[in-house]
Amino acid sequence: TTATWEQTITVEDLFAPEFIETPEADQFVHFLSDYGPSVTGVPLVEDIATHPDMAALNLVSYPIKLEYADVAFDYHSDTQSCSEGLAAVTRRWTTRDRCETTATWEQVVRVQHPRSEGGMGEIGNATQFQAF
């Protein structure tokens, strides 16, 4: 006598990819310069299924997608522009694995005032009506 039993096991990936290394979350770029990821940096992501122990078991959720969108632009007043930058761009990074689990991380990129050094300088006696 023989008996057979059929069993189906479903493994679900409920773990979102993780940001394991990120560029500075708040940084300045020079006035009238590129502020894209080639300048501000790109985060490094990892998914639990990309960990060597999981890969050895052939459990992978490739590909992992990494995308960004500049979701907010804030323009500062004259008094704020020296310390907070002329403008601040909020960049939202989103990573998604094949199982559609996602994680997000935000970065603020500030456009440095052209008369300040390192984004934290004094503008001196200049007013909004003076030419630089």
- pLDDT for residue 27: 92
Identify which has the larger pLDDT, 75 or 39.
39
- pLDDT for residue 58: 62
- pLDDT for residue 36: 92
CB 86 within 8 A of CB 35: no
Q: What is the rounded CA–CA span in Å between residue 56 and residue 46?
A: 16
Please, what is the Cα angle at 21 between 53 and 95, to 5 degrees?
A: 75
Q: What is the rounded CA–CA span in Å between residue 115 and residue 119?
A: 9
Task: Look up tokens 């790109």; give the residue.
Answer: 42
Q: Say what the pTM is.
A: 0.70
Burial class (CB in 10 A: 0-12, 13-18, 19+), 46: middle
Pairing of strands 102-111, 26-29: parallel
Burial class (CB in 10 A: 0-12, 13-18, 19+), 84: buried
- pLDDT for residue 43: 95
pLDDT per position as a tens digit, 50-69: 666 665 666 655 678 999 99
pLDDT per position as a tens digit, 25-51: 999 898 888 999 999 999 999 887 666
Q: What is the rounded CA–CA span in Å between residue 90 and residue 77?
A: 17
